Amino acid sequence: MKLLFTNVKAIHGITEPTIEKLSGAEMAKAETIEKGYLLVEDGKIADFGRMVDMKPTVLGSVNEVIDAQGRLLLPAFCDSHTHIVFAEPREAEFVDRINGLSYEEIAQRGGGILNSAKKMREYLPQDLYDSAKSRIDEMMLTGTGAVEIKSGYGLSLAQELKMLRVIKELKNHSPITIKATFLGAHAIPTAYKEKREEYIESIIHEMIPAVVAEELADYIDVFCDKGFFTPEETDRILKAGIAAGLQPKIHANELAISGGVQVGVANNALSVDHLECMSDAEIEVLKNSDTMATMLPGTAFFLKISYPPARKMIDAGLAVALASDYNPGSSPSGNMEFITSLACIQMNMLPQEALTAATLNGAYAMDLGKEMGSIAIGKRANLILTRPIPSLAFLPYNFGSSIVERLFIDGEMRVDKRGNSGLLSE
């Protein structure tokens, strides 16, 4: 099966096939081709270049040609941090915050993660599956082509396994690639408030072995932050996960300079995520590591906390990724287009840097950098075809409005927003 895009206004996010991430100044330098073509063969990117250089033989054997006049081709977004399996939204807490309570105060009163854990027990796997599936469908409408999903609203052996089995079903039935993360250490459950050590022991000795035995997770995560898990506790839990074959991807430095970055890097974490609270020491530690620094600006926006120092991090030479953190408490949106707007508007990232962070570097943070995240020969044809827009900068600039017209996953069209817009005057 061969699909050919012709007359593409610009193809963005081009790298060599072996590139799995871009760091520092390289992030703005993923290549662009103007007036280009791109050939997909058997779900993979087979060839691309300038229209003027396209050999007539390329046209010969194709099954379908898409004349992309005025449109851009981008790699699909790779959203490397979400919590989209949850029972119910928490918009009442949102109103509590408007009335003056902080996220931490809400958590201390049994709201927040513990509120979601309470609701989780009341829900059947099928209902959790259906709601998460519709969130994935919605995310695809704004260009997401791969997603990581965490457990962490179970907070008991049975409920964590329930969540992870739902994620496994999603993996098996979704057109987009899904990675699963075990986050038993998301919060200390209410029943263990006075005996946190027992909960940690249960994560290490009951949950991790059971999760691994059923092959339910790719990664292990801990919420290493003020009021949640200490760096020492995080270290113990990560080491138990690593010994069982799970690589760490952790929450760190959302609420305070927590020591989380250091503990993540020391345990060779694939990524450390959040990073709203950063000092020079954290930047230095990340600089000498293979760990992706993942920023979740939807959370800073929604909780009205400070944004990660993205400019400083990129200027220091770090590789940074952008993810949505889609969850019911701190970032109830999986719209990666809006995340690129926040990155550029609030964190001074350049549009090209935001694209790299939301695609290739996000893929790296899910161990998918070899197969997707950039336009490269041999990578999977996970592509956004935009509506006609003037340039890449229009993506973050035109915030709140979608530029995604079509989404292709492995060369197959999975989203098509052409046609009737719904306007009665048409």
Q: Please identify, using beta-carbon distances, which residue of 6 and 330 lies nearer to ligand NIG.
A: 330
- Residues with Cβ < 8 Å from 413, sequence gap 6 or more? 406, 407
Draw the binding track, 296-315, toward ligand NIG (x: CB under 6 A; -: no contact): ---x----------------
Among 15, 234, 327, 386, binds ligand NIG (CB under 6 A): 327
CB 301 within 8 A of CB 346: yes
Window contacting ligand NIG (CB under 6 A); options: 154-162, 193-201, 210-218, 324-332: 324-332
- Residue 276 as a binder of Fe ion (CB under 5 A): the answer is no
- Residue 113 as a binder of ligand NIG (CB under 6 A): the answer is yes
Q: Which of 246, 85, 244 is nearest to 159 (CA)?
A: 85
- Residue 254 as a binder of ligand NIG (CB under 6 A): the answer is yes
Between CA 335 and CA 77 the distance in angstroms is: 10
Number of other residues whose CB lies within 10 A of the CB of residue 422: 6
| Count, residues near ligand NIG per rule CB under 6 A | 13
In whole angstroms, the minimum distance from the beta carbon of 137 to Fe ion comes to 21
- Residue 225 as a binder of Fe ion (CB under 5 A): the answer is no
In whole angstroms, the minimum distance from the beta carbon of 327 to ligand NIG comes to 4
In whole angstroms, the minimum distance from the beta carbon of 127 to ligand NIG comes to 18
Which secondary structure element, helix H or strand E, spans residue 150, and what is its range?
strand 144-150
Angle at 171 between CA 203 and CA 217, to 5 degrees: 20
Q: Give the CA radius of gyration of the chain.
A: 21
Window contacting Fe ion (CB under 5 A); options: 19-27, 32-40, 318-326, 376-384: 318-326
Window contacting Fe ion (CB under 5 A); options: 98-106, 131-139, 208-216, 320-328: 320-328
Task: Indicate the SS3 state at residue 103.
Answer: helix
- Residue 238 as a binder of ligand NIG (CB under 6 A): the answer is no
What HEC string does 10-30 produce? EEEEECCCCCCCCCHHHHHHC
- Residue 21 as a binder of ligand NIG (CB under 6 A): the answer is no
In whole angstroms, the minimum distance from the beta carbon of 186 to Fe ion comes to 8
- Residue 325 as a binder of Fe ion (CB under 5 A): the answer is yes
- Residue 264 as a binder of ligand NIG (CB under 6 A): the answer is no
**Partner touching 160 among Fe ion, ligand NIG, none, CB below 5 to 8 Å by kind:** none
- Residue 355 has, within 13 A of its CA and on its CB side, a CA count of 30
| Count, residues near Fe ion per rule CB under 5 A | 1
Between CA 368 and CA 361 the distance in angstroms is: 9
**Partner touching 337 among Fe ion, ligand NIG, none, CB below 5 to 8 Å by kind:** none
In whole angstroms, the minimum distance from the beta carbon of 407 to ligand NIG comes to 25
Between CA 11 and CA 164 the distance in angstroms is: 37
Among 6, 15, 294, 330, binds ligand NIG (CB under 6 A): 330
Between CA 27 and CA 357 the distance in angstroms is: 8
Number of other residues whose CB lies within 10 A of the CB of residue 345: 16
